[in-house]
Every structure is written in structure tokens, then in C-alpha cells.
Structure 1
């Protein structure tokens, strides 16, 4: 995954890669690639072996990207968790995933008390790590020349996000290097990419990176395409609009609750958001009325929806309005199936394929699965 995402890094070496919306600190593509290798070396020095698991218990932050990509270089697996989970939820996921290292903020260390009896190393990204924890510099300032060379198979797991599924507690979803590379390629590669990102783009990253939508369709796709990613720790409409105006955001991946805030608030008109060319919504369906209201706020932007699920890595369908050479679309549609994948709708009782406009079970196959 890391080799694929950084394959064209020489083309964009000095261009902005990650922008911290809270501090304005900007990292170039060359810096991000280097720090990823440093993190890999640091993980190895701490004893993390290939195939072992790192948990990221973090809100959106620059360090999330560094550790995720560094773990890929190490041949390790990253499981992502919502820092607002209750202690028992975090402990259950960490134990089920077999996490050896947890990277978090000092404010969340107290939630890890249930894991004290387990051999888990905690690393904090704050300036003042809690007692017994290490500071993130053990990773980000490690000697990259000491990074062990590992042979990674395409079917090796690289990410272990947890999905609520349809019943019961969240379950780990094993996403391989092949599945994530395939999913990103289905979106941003090719002569007419379905999701047209380019090196002049600034992509808003306000959706949580611990969710596969933001991790894949924002961070990984931006890395591959050479676009800058503007990271916001949490959504606040005023701050979001200020950053969009300041950095001339061109792509805004959002979800229906954010759309609702934007369409209902009178302050949107006070900001220059004319740079936005694409607004993409996912994670839940968006009604036609909200879609139309959003278009009034961003008359120059192309708007559309996508559909996916964590188990599919996650993108299954995407709006063709986002393509380099776009196709006409209808309001309310989540688009068409991504390239090199197949979808069919089955009758749950008979197992037969259903015709258009019939409800049934969605079945998909493709290299991203």
C-alpha cells in the first residue's frame, strides 16, 4: 500500500501533502514519505514484528497519517478506534485485534486502564506523555536507515477497521494491501478516473480518519494523486468555513449531518468558498431536498454521493459527476459500480437476480474484496 501511494512522490516532492488546520504546519510529500519510513524503523526498534497490530486511538491529526503509513512500511497492521469509545469498548477491540502498541492522546490514556495487565505499549502524541507512556518522537524521529526490509504479500492484512455490521458488537474487517490498493485505483487511477483528484487540489479532511470512508477516499486517494490533505480534528462549521476560505479547498468530502448544518446556517454566505469544485457525500443516503439546498450554497461545485461498506474496502459505487470527463447524473443517485467490480441484486428467498428497481440483497465481487 505504501509503495503504491508514494509511487509518484518524486513528482510532488516539494508540494504540500498534509496541512494541520489547527497549527498551519504543512508537510511536503517528501517529508511525509520520509517520516513514514522513520515510523517504520521506530516500530521495529520497539519490537513490533511484521503482521503485528498497532491501534490508532486518535482524532484526526497529522500523526494518524504518519503512523498508518509507517505501519504499512513495517508490514504491520493498523486497527483504528474512535477515541470517544468507552473504556470497555476500546479494551474489547484492542484485545480482539491483538494490539501490541496503542498510539493516542494523553487525554485518552485513562481509558486504557483495562489493558494494564496486557503487554501493550502506549505512545502519546502530546508534548507531555503520561507516566509509563512513550512520546511519539520515538517513532517520528527514529533512524529511517534502520528500518528492516520486509517482504509484503498482496494478501497480507494492512488495516483492521471495526464495522458495526448489522447485528451485535463491532467486528474486525481484514483489509489487505491488495484490497486497499485496488479500491484507491478504482477511484483515482486511469485516463478518466472516477474520482478526479490532481496535484493542485486541496482536500478537506474533517471526517474521522478512524472511519474507512475518510481513510480511503480522502487520505489514501490524496496521497496517490498528489493532492494536499487539510486535516481538521473535529467539525465546527465556522472553523471549517474559515479553513476552506484560507486554503482554497477544492474538494469537500462530507456526510449528511454536515450537509444539514451547511444548508441551515446563514453564515455560509459570509465566506468565499468559490474554490470548491467537488462536494461528495457518503456514509448515509442524502435526500433530494438537501441535495438541492446544498447546490444553492455551492453553485459552482459538482455534488454527488457514493455508496460503500467497510467490508468492501469500502467503495462500491460512485457518482460519475466526479470523473475527469464527467457523465450526467440524477439527483439522489449514489452513482454506478466502481470499475473492475460487479454488483447484482438478489431475491433473498430464491437467490435469483432481480431486474431494475427491485429491492433485494446486494452482492459484489472484485479485486477490492
Structure 2
């Protein structure tokens, strides 16, 4: 506003000078007009900056007002909380004063009534304890405490103890009439029996230790036996499958040691997926012979023998199965290192002789 007033004064002065000096130079007036316009633009820029600052200041003032209001609200909540805590503190102080008065009351009762009774009871207890020790000393002269405990103790009332003593006297009199031995003799017999029982207990403990050791060894051997049985069953199945695979057949051997049952499962390549022949009687003659041969070779691979013989194992086989079987047998026999004897009525020209393979053909029987 001050700049605008100043600008208006300058315009009025300019008009006055123009009226006073009508003959002024036009160029000077133009320069003055340009200078005034420049000053006006600078003043307007300053005015715009002042307006921007004013806007920012107003926004900051509004933010500070909002913060102040939030601070007032939080302070009000804290003041309310402090008032509540002061009320709780006053209530707690009242309860504490009440508890202090009750404590003083009960301490007075304890000091005036309970403690004298406790002292009287303690004195009576000490007197009874002294009487008991004196009575125990006198009773030990007649009979020791260990003997009383051996006879079953002395718990109960006076009447019960008196009746028990009478029964013991009667038993003593009865036993004295039955046995001519004295008490010392009976005690010697009892000591001998006790030593013998102790010796038998020691012997029993020794046998029990040996039995536990044997049981532990048996459990260990049984676990090893079960593991070996499981591994042998797997080895038998793997060997059986290994020989069947030479003809494109797969199979599985199930062994039930508890039921003592062995079952063979064979699956032919031409069968439908999942169709497994569970009995070799469902196979053809050649397939059954080849499966039986593979099973026998799997068993031979798990056992040791210096001599082995097989008679007419290829009777029901076709030419292809016979060739595969002969090659399998010869390779297996050479790898095993033991002596094998194969007897067959068919042609064995396909078997090539070697250092460890010999062929012998018998003369045909006469018709």
C-alpha cells in the first residue's frame, strides 16, 4: 500500500510538472515514464513475493494452531489420567492406614494372648520330652528298641500295648513248650538261616546279572538276525530281477519268515500296465522255466557249494529263451568259480568251449 501511495504521488507530481512546464522535452518525459514503469514492475514483484510469504506464514500459523490444539487435547487426557492416579493413590493410602491399624491390633493380640499360650505349651512339651527320654531309658534296661521294632513296634494305646504283651507272653510260653531248645539255640539257628538266605540272594543276584547279559546278547543277535534276513530278502529280489532283466522281464519275491511262505511275482513286458502274474502257473512253459531258472540262480548266488548240477532245465524253453538261459548259466558258473554240471537233451552247439568250459555229448541210445 505504501508503494501504491508513493506511485500515486509520483503520478500527481508528474501531472503537476507537466501542467507547469508545458514546453518540457518529450524525450525526458519518455525516460521518466520508462523509469517509473520499471520501478512499478519491481515493486509489483516485491509485492508478489510478500504475498507468497504471507500465504506461507498463514499456513504455518494454521499448522501451529492445530499442533497447539492437539497438545491441549493430549495435556487434557494426561491431566485426567493424573487425577485418576491421585484418586487411586488416596484410596491406596487409606487402605494402607487400615492395614496398619489391623496389623497393630493383631500384634497386640499375638503379644497378649497367643505368645503366653505358646510359651506354656513349649514348657509342657519340654516336660513331656524329658519324661519320654526317662521312660525310654528305663524301658531299654528291660528290652532294647531294636527288639521291640523286630516284634512289630509299640504303636497304640496303653490297653492295646498291654493286650499285645499278653499275647507275646502266651506265644513265648507256647513256643517254649513246643521246642526244647533255648532262646540262644533258636537265635543261632536263625542266624544260620539268615546267612544262608543272604548267600542265596547273592547267588540269585549273580544269576540275574548273567541272565540280563544273556538277554541283552540275545536281543542284539536277534536284531542283527532280523537285519540280515531283511537284507537277504532284498538281495534275493535284486538277483532275481537282475537275471529276469536279460529277457526284459521284471519280478519280485516276497518272503514271510513268520508264516514260512515264499511267493514269486513276475510281470511280462507284453502285459498291460499294472498286470502282474502272481503265480508261475499262470505263465507259459518257457516263461515258467526261465523264471524258475532265475530264481535258482539268485539262490545259488547267496549260497556256497563246491559242486552244483542242473538237469534238463531248458526242456520247455524255446530257442531264444534257451540261448539266453545257457549264456546266463555259463557266465554265472564262470564268475562263481565253482564246478557246475549241466545236463540237457537239446543242442548245445551255441555254447563255446573255453579254459573252464567243457562239453561232452553222449551217444544216442539205440532204438
Please indicate the TM-score interval, normalised by the length of the shorter structure: under 0.3
With the length of structure 1 as denominator, give the TM-score of the two structures: 0.19
With the length of structure 2 as denominator, give the TM-score of the two structures: 0.19
Structure with the bigger percentage of strand: 1
